[in-house]
Amino acid sequence: MSTIERVLPITRNQMVRVLRYLLDSVLACAGALLVTGVILVFHLYPGIPNISIVYLLVVLALATTRGRYAAILSAVIAFLTFAYFIVAPFKTSGIYLVEGWIALFVLLIAAILTGQLAVALRERAEQANRRERETRQLYEVVRATNREAEQAHQQLLAYEQAARAEAEATRARLYEFFMQAPAMMTILRGPEHRFEFANPRVLPHRDRADILGKTSREVRPELVEQGVLAILDEVYTTGTPFVGTEFPARVDRRGDGVLEEAYFNFVYQPLRTAQGLIEGILVHSVEVTEQVLARHRVEELNLQLEAEKNALRQAEQEAQARTAELEAIFEAMTECVIVCDARGEIRYTNAAYRSLLALEADTDPSLLQLNNRVTWLAFRDLGGRPVSKEQVPMLQVLRGERLSGTHRIDLMCHTYKGEDLILNISGAPIHDAAGQIVGGVVVFRDVTERLRLQQQVQYSERKLRVLVESNIFGVAVTEGAGRIYEVNDRYAQVVGYRKDELLSETFSWHQLVPPGSQEAQAHGEETLLSTGALPPLERESLHKDGRHVPILMAGALFDRERDLALTVILDMSEQKAAERRKQEFLSMVSHELRTPLTSIMGYIDLALLYSDLFPRPLSPEAEKLLGKMETGLKRAMRQVEIETRLVEELLEVSRLELHKFELSLHPENLVTIVQETVANQQQAARTRQIELVLPPDELLPVIADAGRIGQALTNYLTNALKYAPVDQVVSVRLEVEASSARVSVRDLGPGLTVDQQLRVWERFYQVAAPGHQGPDGGLGLGLAIVKAIVEQHQGQVGVQSAPGRGSTFWFTVPIEVSPEG
């Protein structure tokens, strides 16, 4: 039973307190003044000396009824009024007698003490009253409480009995529930986890009596090393429940020691005593092996499915990419591609197909249907014979034939616009997974141009072959380095070797060049390389037996990379022999001609002299006749001079040919030779302007035939003056070039083509083009003579020219180096 510690104080209103003090003050004043008034009215003092005691009564009364404040206030007012009104002198506050004061103070103190005492008593009484009230109240409370407690006790007893019954029933139900539960229910007791309860689902193959009372370690040794007992220990020591979800464990289902993979959802719930101590563990476990395995299987299947889906998606993407790639390839191909279905109807054509067959973008699609297509394409073989519908390439392919390799076919057909085409056709059927033909691809190549070219080439080849095989002249395919790759019989015959000798790897055509002609051969090679052609030139070839065979040689480069040329040679032996005979005849004739010409000139000179010596004056007719005669004689003289020069040239050439051309070599100053020659020419052609440029050195020593060198320069100069416009300057230049002196004559005449530049050195060659015919009709021998003269001086001749740009003819003579250097 609880104690009431304190009674709550009664709260007073502030106003009530003020009123109470006011009332206390009024009563204190009234009481004191009443007693003073009675004493005064009835003059009781000093008759009754201790009359002031009466005040004590008032103070006492007030102390007991009204409290300390009223008692003290009435004592003070009694003291003051008594001293003022009753003790002499009256109505002053002065008291003369000590006894008076003592009496008054005694009164006051007594009054205050009495008041205090009375108040203390009153408070005690009040406290006692309050205590008593409280005690009574407490008593009432206790009594009431005891009654309630009793009732509660009774009720509790009733409840306990009901609860016991209920608990029993619940326990029975719980037991039943545990026994019937579809899960494994086990209660393990104590730190060793002894089996206290195990429903039939727990180890169904074992007898309950065999399990109950035994430790987990004994009953399920296989779980020890799988860490299950450690979990039980943990739950038992910490009191924290353990929930296992799809917990894998290997269990001995049949007690035969064979462990099987299994999964469990379980709860290890610690069981506590009423004091909260852990006394055991309730195990609720459901085997979910099948679900887990099924789920694993489903997950696996899902993964598999996902992988298959991805693979499928990838395959689809790849297929799309490949299709796009194929389409791009087809579109970029220059060959025409068509893809047809099994009936031969077009599924796809590339741009090349449409463009080759002149199909517009808006061409009626029905025209591409098999029958229509075959009609306007009008396939024919290369002989122009129509091809039957079965032989149409796409239909062949759709029958399963592969048109590839040697089975490709060449057919002629029409474009949609009717132009003829020759197509080279290949194709293959398209099979489905079951091997059925579901379509076909056919590729056309336009070979019209190629076949045409091929025919042309064959034609040209035939022409060339005929020419080569006719053996009119020698033909060889030669390589710059020396190999001969092809040669005809005539060539072999001219050079005296067998064909196999000429074609052997070790043979070089350089072996056919006689020692003296190597330089000219090298020059010819250069020309061939730079211009791609070697114009016909007379050469000598070295026969196998050592003879020099005169040949006319020409060539053309046909493979620049491999430096391969087609060389043609013509045996000139017979022509040369004939020419020689002709030269001998010419030489003889010129010689025979020169003698009469000299005497004719002598006679003309004489006739002119005589005409001068004629005695003058003469009759006008005679004078006129003589004049005419003189003119005629002078003309005749000029003609004879020209004739003489021509005969001279002829003789010169004859000597040249017959190798009777001899020089008389002496140390000479080339500067002097050039100066004198130019001066002579300037003298002969006074109206023309000849410019001479000499080197700083005044002496250019050469070993030369001064007359012949002068003749060579004269030849260049007369040609320049002859072919260049009369108002144009002709420049002669003498320069020093390393070890030789170079004399050149530049004119602004018609110029020469490359071919002409090569040929002007030949005897009797004259350029036929306008501007190249001199006024005096030369024989085309001058330059040949120059060349012979210069070459005899170990020098070289040449010309730089271009049509319309003038020509610079030059020759070089070796400078004689004096022994002193």
Binding region for ligand ADP (CB under 6 A): 719-720, 723, 747, 749-750, 752, 760, 765-767, 772, 774, 778-784, 807
Comparison of 43 and 805: residue with beta carbon closer to ligand ADP: 805
Spatial distance between the Cα atoms of 721 and 727, rounded to a whole number of angstroms: 10
Judged by DSSP in three states, 746 sits in: strand
To ligand ADP, the closest distance from the beta carbon of 705 in angstroms equals 19
| Sign of the CA dihedral with 63 first, then 66, 72, and 75 last | negative
Comparison of 84 and 761: residue with beta carbon closer to ligand ADP: 761
To ligand ADP, the closest distance from the beta carbon of 692 in angstroms equals 17
Q: HSE-up of 233 (CA within 13 Å, CB side)?
A: 8
State the SS3 of 473-499. Answer: CEEEEEECCCCEEEECHHHHHHHCCCH
To ligand ADP, the closest distance from the beta carbon of 730 in angstroms equals 9
To ligand ADP, the closest distance from the beta carbon of 810 in angstroms equals 12
Comparison of 100 and 798: residue with beta carbon closer to ligand ADP: 798
Residue matched to tokens 């190549």:
445
Spatial distance between the Cα atoms of 180 and 194, rounded to a whole number of angstroms: 21
Exposed, middle or buried, 127 (CB in 10 Å: 0-12/13-18/19+)? exposed
Strand partners, 346: 340
Comparison of 705 and 747: residue with beta carbon closer to ligand ADP: 747
To ligand ADP, the closest distance from the beta carbon of 646 in angstroms equals 9
To ligand ADP, the closest distance from the beta carbon of 551 in angstroms equals 23
**Burial 316-343, CB ≥16 within 10 A → b, else e:** eeeeeeeeeeeeeebeeeebbbbbbeee
Which single residue brings its beta carbon nearest to ligand ADP? 778
Q: Which helix (H) or strand (E) holds 814?
A: strand 807-814
Spatial distance between the Cα atoms of 481 and 26, rounded to a whole number of angstroms: 164
To ligand ADP, the closest distance from the beta carbon of 536 in angstroms equals 17
Comparison of 369 and 714: residue with beta carbon closer to ligand ADP: 714
To ligand ADP, the closest distance from the beta carbon of 597 in angstroms equals 18
Comparison of 573 and 711: residue with beta carbon closer to ligand ADP: 711
CA 813 to chain centre: 66
Comparison of 719 and 731: residue with beta carbon closer to ligand ADP: 719
To ligand ADP, the closest distance from the beta carbon of 680 in angstroms equals 18
Whole-number CA gyration radius for the chain: 78
Comparison of 263 and 716: residue with beta carbon closer to ligand ADP: 716
Comparison of 374 and 767: residue with beta carbon closer to ligand ADP: 767
Spatial CB neighbours of 667, under 8 Å, sequence gap ≥ 6: 701, 702, 703, 816
DSSP E strand stretches across 561-637: 564-571
Spatial distance between the Cα atoms of 195 and 212, rounded to a whole number of angstroms: 5
Comparison of 81 and 801: residue with beta carbon closer to ligand ADP: 801
**In Å, what is the CA distance from 599 to each residue of 380, 585, 594, 630?**
87, 22, 9, 18
Comparison of 549 and 717: residue with beta carbon closer to ligand ADP: 717
DSSP E strand stretches across 242-314: 242-252, 259-272, 278-287
To ligand ADP, the closest distance from the beta carbon of 489 in angstroms equals 37
Strand partners, 430: 439
To ligand ADP, the closest distance from the beta carbon of 716 in angstroms equals 7
